[in-house]
A and B are shown apart, each in its own frame.
Chain A
Amino acid sequence: MAPRIARGQEGTGLDQIGEADVEATVRAVLRDILGISVGRVAAFTDDTELFGALPEFDSMAVAGVLTELEDRLGILIDDEDVDGEMLATFGALTRFAAARALH
């Protein structure tokens, strides 16, 4: 199948996005897709464990989180790059997203 078409890239004003914006977006996506409260998500640190530790973040939720990140950040995530490591902590997921959003 042909590569996924990146959505949300035209006229989105994402050219000025910085690391803080990526981190805020990852927090918002986890909140919206996993149904976690604002307060809980705000308390996530670099080391907060995600996949395998958060009951809400199971394999069914991963696809939704990744696709929502793609849409909001205007990036493309290759499913082959998805592994336990980049999902393990909030810091790892943020760095993964930032690497694709900021270049």
Chain B
Amino acid sequence: MIDHYDWPGGREAMLRFGPDTGPVVVMLLPLFEEHNRTRAFAVTICRALAAMSVASLVPDLPGQGESVLATQSATLADWRNAVKSLSEAQGAVRPVFMASMRGGAVADSVAGVCGVWRLSPITGYAVLADLQRAQSIGGEPNLSMSGPDSPPVNLVGNLIGWPLFNELLNDDVLREALAPLRTVRLESDPAPADIKFPGAPLWRRAEPGNDGALAQLLAADIADWVLACGG
């Protein structure tokens, strides 16, 4: 179901799955190229959650997807503001959980949610480094920005303005979750996690892909954890 939510800067589209009552999981997808590669996978997780009677939302962030805000005008502050507005609106009527994947973690520290679930979280700094690597491996000059007067930079097709570039550059530590945190990773990932699952990192592949089995495992983990947190 296609729906929308409001935030101080305007109105954005979102996908809505599952029941109208009970806990709702706000899914924050990876950023930029990784978003494209994992969108179908994320929707598969949401559909699996719905089958487990857990609702979920996949919001466009300002400057993403169908947003009327130009991509180069997107800022991390706006993303966080939009997620906060969505969470507060939902939180007025049902328990809200955040579930972020990869760079979505830059916007998941919202007050008032019941819990935060993260899949292979990365910092804004790492997001930017990945884009710059793809850019330089592709033979393009290694683009950086010097200050507020720099024009938006095009990193492998993603237009990024100075505010967002600077915000991501300085986001070099995973933000503390403001609610109980559960970190999930793949078995191939040596970093610490509460649990690890078998599967390939779809976000690293060149083309979009899906993994139904992994989606089921992740949905079950989210659902179990939501219920355990009293959702």
Which A residues are closer than 8 A to B by beta carbons? 1, 4-5, 7-8, 10-14, 28, 31-35, 56, 58-68, 71-72, 74, 79, 82
Contact = CB atoms under 8 A, between A and B. Distances in A.
**B-side binding surface: helix, strand, loop or mixed?**
loop
Interface in B179-225: 188-192, 200-201, 204-207, 209
Contacts of B134: 60, 63
Nearest to B120: A71
B130 interface: yes
B201 A68 contact: yes
A1 B142 CA distance: 10
Contact of A1 (B169, B189, B204, B207): B169
A32 B201 contact: yes
A1 B144 contact: yes
Contacts of B200: 31-33, 35
A11 B129 CA distance: 23
Contact of B172 (A5, A13, A35, A74): A5
B147 interface: no
B206 A61 contact: yes
B102 to A, nearest CB: 12
Contacts of B17: none
A14 B77 CA distance: 37
B228 to A, nearest CB: 26
Nearest to A29: B188
B190 A8 contact: yes
A63 B126 contact: no
A1 B155 CA distance: 14
Contacts of A10: 191-192
Contacts of B209: 35
A61 B133 contact: no
A33 B130 CA distance: 15
Given A1-B129, A7-B126, A12 B205 contact: no
Contacts of A74: 190
A103 B58 CA distance: 45
Interface string B121-151: 0000110111011101111001010000000
A90 B81 CA distance: 47
A58 B139 CA distance: 13
Given A61-B205, A67-B204, A72-B190, 4 more contacts: A8-B191, A14-B190, A64-B204, A65-B204
